């Protein structure tokens, strides 16, 4: 018999560790495509606005206010004279019988408080001394030997711009969600505020890759091309409100691209990848994204820019968007998806400013697909007209355009003279 009996151990059942994954994506249509609206909503659902903090007024320009802001002072802060004359107490102008009172003594303007039966000479805009509640216009009295003989009387508050007449303490100035423009900054400064709670500008890192690319200003050898996409997209990100960093790898080496992207995550709220347009450029970056993050690659019912890749990469799950290599596809994809992501990070409205314009010629699209044509909008009075811009030089076509013409999934043709929706690119 055993000295000690062993307890029978139950077998340890290890729970399967579920691999992290992105939330379920929207369903595809019969053609295996995701709608632009569904894709945009899906991406926005994966990105939270940045945390707000207090910022000085000038640094907070063009950023989203994250609190309701009320005036902390009266504007004007003191009662002032509207006309040239004398600051007086209205009650001192009449005697007990209701007749004009005896002449008032003129005292110095720096008097701490206006004595009874006295007056102070004032010009328009001068602050009234404490105790004064009216201004007697110069024509309502005559000055002689330091005293004012009354000709007319005034009531309390007459010819006075009262403290708080323009703005009282506690008046709502700005509401949460508004964007701080130059006039708003003036309003807040004039109301005694030097800081405001806003969301910071998103830090966007544009990573350019492709072994055939060279930076502008460098010599272009056989088989090479100047890197234009990354500069264009970096400028577009700045225009959307971001602080932008551009980093060029100019290689297809997987390890080098992986290292570059990983190094940039510490200062990025959003990473945008651009390339030279070769298939291997795109595939290398896609492989890197798969290695370091959770990735969604899908064909979107949009032209141009059908293939879209998005991921949450690195330990902090930084959002990353990979743009197509063709300049037009890259720019259109930026406007359709990257710009809303930047605005989401800012806490600002994510939709484009859409207006109606009259088509100057016929335009065709394909049912079931959103078509974003490059266009030029002109105005004649209150009427906008738009024509499609099509040029062999893709960057020239974009430079000539000031709008994207939106032909949605239900539109097959727009005839000349019909109204069409456009996204204005040069104004918010």
pLDDT at 209 over 90: yes
Closest CA to 177 of 91, 52, 3: 52
Which pLDDT value is given to residue 405?
96
pLDDT confidence bin for 1, thresholds 50/70/90: very low
Which pLDDT value is given to residue 382?
87
pLDDT confidence bin for 167, thresholds 50/70/90: confident
- CA-CA distance, 341 to 49, in Å (whole number)? 9
Average pLDDT, stretch 328-357? 95
pLDDT confidence bin for 20, thresholds 50/70/90: confident
pLDDT tens per residue, range 372-385: 999 999 998 889 99
Higher pLDDT, 183 or 277: 183
Higher pLDDT, 303 or 72: 303
Which pLDDT value is given to residue 14?
65
- CA-CA distance, 10 to 15, in Å (whole number)? 15
Average pLDDT, stretch 173-195? 92
Average pLDDT, stretch 230-236? 96
Which pLDDT value is given to residue 4?
46
- Write down the mean pLDDT value for the chain: 91
pLDDT at 38 over 80: yes
Closest CA to 146 of 116, 113, 104, 178: 104
Which pLDDT value is given to residue 336?
97
By percentage, how much of the chain surpasses pLDDT 90? 76
- Strand 53-56 vs strand 134-137: parallel, antiparallel, or unpaired? unpaired
Q: 305 vs 92, 128, 328, 357, CA distance in Å?
A: 80, 67, 8, 24
Which of the residue ranges 5-9, 79-83, 249-253, 273-277 would you say has the lowest mean pLDDT? 5-9
């Amino acid at each position: 018999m055993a000295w000690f009996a062993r307890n029978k151990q139950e077998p340890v059942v290890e729970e399967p560790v579920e691999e992290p994954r992105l939330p379920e994506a929207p369903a595809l249509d019969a053609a295996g495509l995701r709608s632009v609206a569904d894709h945009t909503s899906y991406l926005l659902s994966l990105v939270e606005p940045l945390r707000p903090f207090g910022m000085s007024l000038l640094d907070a320009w063009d950023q989203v206010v994250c609190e309701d802001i009320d005036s902390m002072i009266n504007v004007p802060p003191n009662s002032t004279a509207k006309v040239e004359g004398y600051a007086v107490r209205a009650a001192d102008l009449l005697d007990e019988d209701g007749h004009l009172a005896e002449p008032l003594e003129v005292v110095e303007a720096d008097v701490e408080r206006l004595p009874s039966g006295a007056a102070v000479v004032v010009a328009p805009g001068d602050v009234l001394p404490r105790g004064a509640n009216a201004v007697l216009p110069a024509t309502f009295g005559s000055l002689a030997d330091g005293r004012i003989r009354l000709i007319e009387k005034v009531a309390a508050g007459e010819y006075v711009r009262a403290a708080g007449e323009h703005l009282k303490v506690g008046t709502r100035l700005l509401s949460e969600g508004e964007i701080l423009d130059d006039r708003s900054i003036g309003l807040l400064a004039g109301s005694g505020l030097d800081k405001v709670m806003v969301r910071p500008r998103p830090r966007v890192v544009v990573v350019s890759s492709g072994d055939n690319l060279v930076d502008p200003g460098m010599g272009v050898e056989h088989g090479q091309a100047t890197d234009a996409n990354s500069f264009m997209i970096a400028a577009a990100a700045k225009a959307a409100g971001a602080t932008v960093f551009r980093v060029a790898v100019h290689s297809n080496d997987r390890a080098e691209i992986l290292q570059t992207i990983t190094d940039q995550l510490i200062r990025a709220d959003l990473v945008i990848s651009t390339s030279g347009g070769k298939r291997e450029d795109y595939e290398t970056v896609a492989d890197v994204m798969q290695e370091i993050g959770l990735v969604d690659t899908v064909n979107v019912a949009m032209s141009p820019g059908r293939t879209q890749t998005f991921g949450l990469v690195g330990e902090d799950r930084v959002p990353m968007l990979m743009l197509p290599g063709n300049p037009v596809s890259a720019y259109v994809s930026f406007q359709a998806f990257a710009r809303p992501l930047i605005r989401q990070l800012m806490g600002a409205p994510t939709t484009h400013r859409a207006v109606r314009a009259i088509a100057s010629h016929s335009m065709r699209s394909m049912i079931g697909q959103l078509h974003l044509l490059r266009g030029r909008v002109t105005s004649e009075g209150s009427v906008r007209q738009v024509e499609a811009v099509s040029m062999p030089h893709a960057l020239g076509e974009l430079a000539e355009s000031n709008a994207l013409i939106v032909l949605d999934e239900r539109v097959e043709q727009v005839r000349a003279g019909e109204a069409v929706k456009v996204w204005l690119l040069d104004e918010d």
